[in-house]
């Protein structure tokens, strides 16, 4: 029996083709119903749904969705949309339809909020975008964080992603926030350092939807070196297993460097991800910010093409149907504008709104009229 078979629990599974198509039909029908409520017109709702599907194909580089998964809380196909069915799913796509085909209401289209809740972190990662402020004193209290997040929820946010630093370093406050906003889709981006079974269970009970764990190599020593901590690999693998055991959808965030891509490392990484039994692998392109500011780390066209090939192989080819789904936001930017500063925002640990973790320009209401990442 493979490790994947051992780690796949009763409360989660990959979807077969027929089940995936049935669930997809149900999701699209539900989105059409949301459009009916928004536009008060079945034809307009159908047109908006059609535009949404066209947008989705652009994001997927012209391909249709072919894979999905089921966990105890519902169905999913990536880490950027709430599980179906549910209130957060309805709210998310109500906003998305407004973005795709405005109803004329003037309603904002904000859907996702990234929240950096702490500057503390036990690691010193090579690619850390928050290097200059790492382990400084946190500024915002729990009450202030809750108030600022609530303002964004009032504007339509249906998905909240907690990061840091390491969000687990502020565990009591993280737990309180998840509990308070439990009707939203909530994820954490984490190194999983210290994410034991008890903490995973507490987060599950509080209403957390999913967990994205950073893992940057298939060789333990290489991951530890990248994270500058001899325990990083062990903690990450343990945290992944604990989260899977609690029924969370789990994604691996990987930031692959040029040599790793060129040497075929991504195929080895996908084998590891499959053995672990995770649901998704999310590819983050290296950026010359933070600890890498001024460094020659960004990918060239050759490496990007190789990543696209990996994306297509594991998402589209039948022999890999049971493998984790790959998401690659950098590829989507070729076809669609970035939503940073428009449909999603970052609330940093000092309470400032920014387009995303890489774009540090503070947000104003005037600037939110277009994507600041694109600008």
Share of the chain above pLDDT 90, in %: 69
Q: Are 48 and 191 part of one and the same domain?
A: no
Q: Is 241 inside any structural domain?
A: yes
19 and 158 fall within a common domain: no
Same domain? 214 vs 334: yes
Residue 212 pLDDT exceeds 80: yes
Separation CA 33–CA 274 (nearest Å): 36
Q: Using an 8 Å Cβ cutoff, are 208 and 171 in contact? A: no
- Let me know whether 189 and 278 are in one domain: yes
The last residue of one of the domains, among 100, 135, 165, is 100
Q: Look over the chain and give the mean of its residue pLDDT values, rounded to a whole number.
A: 89
Q: How far apart are CA 227 and CA 95, in angstroms?
A: 37
Host H or E run for residue 302: helix 301-316
In this prediction, residues 90-105 reach a mean pLDDT of 93
Please report the pLDDT score of residue 52 as a whole number.
Answer: 94
**Domain check: are 47 and 160 in the same one?**
no
Beta bridge partners of 97: none
pLDDT at 123: 85
Q: Are both 149 and 286 inside the same structural domain?
A: yes
Q: Of 43, 68, 100, which closes a domain?
A: 100
Q: Name the DSSP class of 10.
A: T
Bridge partners for 49 per DSSP: none
**Is 299 part of any domain?**
yes
Q: What are phi and psi of 50, to 5 degrees?
A: -65, -45
Given this model, what pLDDT does residue 127 score?
A: 83
Does residue 120 share a domain with residue 240? yes
Residues 91 and 16 in one domain: yes
Read off the pLDDT band of 366 (50, 70, 90): very low
Task: Check residue 203 and give its pLDDT.
Answer: 98
Total number of domains constituting the chain: 2
Confidence of residue 131 (pLDDT cuts 50, 70, 90): low
136 shares its domain with 279: yes
Local confidence band at 217 (pLDDT 50, 70, 90 cut-offs): very high
Where does a domain end: 100, 126, 144? 100
Residue 288, burial from CB neighbour count under 10 angstroms (0-12, 13-18, 19+): middle
Domain that holds residue 51: 3-100
Q: Which domain CATH number covers 269? A: 3.20.20.70
Mean pLDDT of 97-110: 88
Q: Is residue 375 part of a domain?
A: no
Q: Looking at the DSSP assignment, which residues form a beta bridge with residue 189? A: 212
Residues 128 and 165 in one domain: yes
**Assigned domain for 58 exists:** yes
Same domain, 8 and 36: yes
- Residue 103: the pLDDT is 93
pLDDT over 60 at 371, yes or no: no
pLDDT of residue 162: 97
For residue 3, the model assigns a pLDDT of 40
What is the chain's alpha carbon radius of gyration, rounded to the nearest angstrom? Answer: 20
Is there a domain that residue 107 lies in? no
Q: Can you give the pLDDT at residue 312?
A: 94
Mean pLDDT of 350-367: 75
Alpha carbon distance 208, 204 (integer Å): 5
| Residue 105 lies inside a defined structural domain of this protein | no
Percent of the chain beyond pLDDT 70? 93
Structural domain contains residue 106? no
User: Is 339 part of any domain?
Assistant: yes
Q: Tens digits of per-residue pLDDT, 312-337? A: 999 999 999 999 999 998 887 776 76
Give the E-state strand segments of the chain in sequence order.
12-14, 69-71, 74-76, 112-116, 159-163, 185-190, 210-214, 250-254, 280-283, 325-327, 344-347, 353-354
Alpha-carbon distance of 178 to 174, in angstroms, equals: 6
129 and 60 in a common domain:
no
What is the C-alpha to C-alpha distance for residues 175 and 342, in angstroms, rounded to an integer?
A: 28
> Is a pLDDT exceeding 80 seen at residue 263?
yes
Give the bridge partners for 76, in sequence order. 69
Instruction: Please say if the pLDDT value at position 369 is more than 60.
Output: no
Give residue 265's pLDDT.
97
């Amino acid at each position: 029996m493979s490790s994947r078979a051992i780690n796949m629990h009763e409360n989660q599974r990959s979807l077969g083709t027929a089940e995936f198509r049935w669930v997809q039909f149900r999701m699209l029908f539900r989105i059409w119903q949301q459009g009916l409520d928004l536009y008060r017109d079945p034809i307009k709702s159908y047109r908006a749904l059609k535009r949404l599907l066209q947008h989705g194909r652009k994001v997927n580089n012209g391909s249709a969705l072919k894979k999905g998964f089921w966990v105890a809380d519902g169905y999913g196909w990536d880490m950027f949309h709430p599980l179906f069915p549910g209130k957060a799913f309805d709210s998310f796509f109500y906003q998305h339809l407004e973005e795709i085909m405005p109803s004329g209401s003037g309603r904002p289209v904000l859907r996702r909020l990234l929240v950096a809740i702490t500057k503390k972190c036990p690691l010193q990662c090579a690619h850390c975008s928050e290097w200059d402020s790492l382990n400084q004193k946190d500024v915002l209290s729990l009450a202030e964080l809750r108030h600022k997040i609530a303002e964004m929820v009032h504007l339509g946010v249906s998905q909240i992603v907690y990061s840091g630093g390491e969000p687990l370093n502020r565990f009591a406050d993280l737990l309180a926030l998840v509990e308070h906003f439990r009707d939203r889709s909530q994820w954490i981006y984490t190194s999983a350092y210290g994410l034991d079974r008890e903490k995973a269970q507490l987060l599950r009970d509080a209403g957390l939807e999913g967990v994205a764990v950073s893992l940057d190599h298939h060789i333990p020593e290489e991951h530890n070196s990248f994270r500058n901590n001899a325990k990083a690999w062990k903690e990450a693998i343990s945290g992944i297993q604990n989260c899977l055991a609690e029924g969370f959808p789990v994604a691996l965030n990987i930031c692959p460097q040029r040599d790793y891509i060129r040497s075929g490392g991504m195929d080895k990484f996908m084998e590891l991800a499959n053995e672990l039994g995770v649901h998704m692998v999310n590819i983050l392109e290296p950026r010359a910010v933070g600890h890498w500011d001024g460094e020659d780390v960004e990918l060239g066209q050759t490496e990007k093409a190789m990543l696209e090939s990996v994306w297509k192989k594991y998402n589209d080819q039948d022999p890999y149907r049971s493998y984790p789904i790959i998401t690659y936001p950098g590829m989507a930017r070729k076809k669609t504008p970035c939503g940073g500063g428009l449909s999603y925002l970052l609330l940093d640990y000092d309470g400032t709104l920014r387009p995303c973790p890489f774009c540090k320009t503070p947000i104003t209401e005037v600037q939110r009229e277009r994507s600041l990442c694109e600008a």
